[in-house]
A and B are shown apart, each in its own frame.
Chain A
């Protein structure tokens, strides 16, 4: 399985995705400071304290990497069917189920680890800078960070499941645009923040969506041995 995942990554030069993830991190960081400065100039409380700031960072990161996951799905799975390279993959002496499972595992692991790593990096940089220049009136306490960590993990796990939902839409007509647009739609619904409230805060919603995502992955794997390609 691990070997299969390694081969998949080699096949698609997935290293470049890490580079893109770094760029995405910089953009998120830039946006965070922009929010901070705009709210300062406008005089309304944008990020009044660290608790809000941390949860906004987490929302941003999850949104970005759910869309990233969709591009990965588009490349690793939808694209293989669309460009018929799947016939090649299915002619190897490798179980089709394992092959698809390996691809989905890459998507989930990538999403999960990128969310965690990006959260850590962006939060660290953001907090150092804002602490130094006293951009946020609040003080960053240890207890806040300790509280924040489990919720980041929980959210990352849920997001890795949610990230698989676009697979369903993409597979219907082997369409790459559909895959990515559906992920944007999912992000727009779950991560949009109105008055510090997101749908993601109602714990049952991310959990349900994650289960749906896993269900879709299961369906994709279940029948793969019987279908014609």
Chain B
């Protein structure tokens, strides 16, 4: 498997405090890597180190198979980035901003400017100064700037901050398109799970500077099975019936009254029938889905990994 970005025991210490500790991150080529964590978890610091803005205290980073050093300037040509919030030379217009960016990056296809402004839905603001832009528009322009040179790796730190729901949806489509059609690998960070969930192929969860887990989305979905929860007057009796009558082993007695059945072959009707036939009173029966949100909240709050 080829990894586009690999970090090895990446650590950053600010004023004696470990902000990022021993992060081993692996980003595959061509995937969208969601970087999830609460505010202040160290997401931005990791991304700053990936773009060589901040230098690691220890550990190292490998991008495009090359170790990052103080002199790694050529690598930056192949990357597009937004860190923290999009920063601009505010007196320039949108068009000038992109022109200047292309000049600095050594990219000379000026026709791209119109195209890319269209992509982020900023087409009629070419000659407007950036300082008159709203936060959402700045985000869009920031993204336009990051993708204009068709980089191989996009590093986007909280790119959807300040956008309205429609804007978020548009950009989600855009990111997916960039990943699929142009084969751009994207590392995207957010503290909003719902966003990452809908985008990412792999999720890295970071908390207090530590990468708690790194999992592929499809493997989480499989693990998070649905279950039927029944609340009865006599849990033990019900459990016995489920086991002996319905021949189901994959269930769990949660407490004296409630049982969770993970076996997906059993229907609610047959369960109800079996229980009633044996004089078990049912107070409630419902089908539940353990959502991704539960999964990640568990991870972030408890810090225990059992994916």
Q: Does A7 contact B (CB under 8 A)?
A: yes
Q: Which one of B55, B88, B105 lies within 8 Å of A93 (CB-CB)?
A: B105
CB contact list, A4-48 vs B, under 8 A: 7, 10-13
Q: Does A87 contact B (CB under 8 A)?
A: yes
Docked complex Cα distance between A228 and B44 (Å): 13
CB <8 Å contact, B53 and A90: yes
CB <8 Å contact, B74 and A93: yes
CB <8 Å contact, A85 and B87: yes
CB contact list, B29-74 vs A, under 8 A: 48, 51-55, 70-71, 73-74
**Nearest residue, chain B, Cβ from A87:** B53
**Nearest residue, chain B, Cβ from A88:** B87
Report the minimal beta-carbon distance from A12 to chain B, rounded to whole angstroms: 8
Report the minimal beta-carbon distance from A49 to chain B, rounded to whole angstroms: 47
Which of B75-83, B112-120, B133-141, B174-182 binds A? Answer: B75-83
Chain B interface size band reads 20 to 34
Docked complex Cα distance between A91 and B100 (Å): 13
CB <8 Å contact, A91 and B55: no
CB <8 Å contact, B70 and A226: yes
Report the minimal beta-carbon distance from B2 to chain A, rounded to whole angstroms: 23
Docked complex Cα distance between A181 and B288 (Å): 68
Chain A interface size band reads 20 to 34
Decide yes or no: A91 and B89 within 8 Å by CB, A225-B71, A226-B70, A228-B53 being known contacts. no
Docked complex Cα distance between A83 and B71 (Å): 24
Q: Mark A68-103, 1 if CB is under 8 A from B, else 0.
A: 000000000000000111011111111100000000
Interface SS majority for chain A: loop
B70, B75, B89: residue with the most chain A Cβ atoms closer than 10 Å: B89
Docked complex Cα distance between A198 and B88 (Å): 44
Q: Does A229 contact B (CB under 8 A)?
A: yes
User: Which chain B residues border A95 with CB–CB below 8 Å?
Assistant: 71, 73
User: Which chain B residues border A85 with CB–CB below 8 Å?
Assistant: 87-89
CB <8 Å contact, A87 and B87: yes
Docked complex Cα distance between A228 and B57 (Å): 11
Q: Which one of A10, A92, A227, A228 lies within 8 Å of B105 (CB-CB)?
A: A92
Report the minimal beta-carbon distance from B274 to chain A, rounded to whole angstroms: 64
Report the minimal beta-carbon distance from A89 to chain B, rounded to whole angstroms: 8
Interface residues of B (CB under 8 A from A): 48, 51-55, 70-71, 73-77, 79, 81, 83, 87-89, 91-92, 100, 103-106
27 contacts between A and B (CB under 8 A): A10-B100, A11-B92, A11-B100, A12-B91, A85-B88, A88-B88, A88-B89, A89-B104, A90-B53, A91-B53, A91-B76, A91-B79, A91-B81, A92-B76, A92-B104, A93-B75, A93-B76, A93-B105, A93-B106, A95-B71, A95-B73, A225-B71, A226-B55, A227-B55, A228-B54, A229-B53, A229-B54
Known: A7-B103, A85-B88, A87-B87; 8 extra A-B contacts, CB below 8 A, are: A7-B104, A12-B91, A89-B104, A92-B76, A92-B104, A225-B70, A226-B55, A229-B54
Q: Which 8 A-B pairs have the closest CB atoms?
A: A93-B77, A92-B104, A228-B54, A93-B76, A225-B70, A93-B73, A88-B87, A84-B87
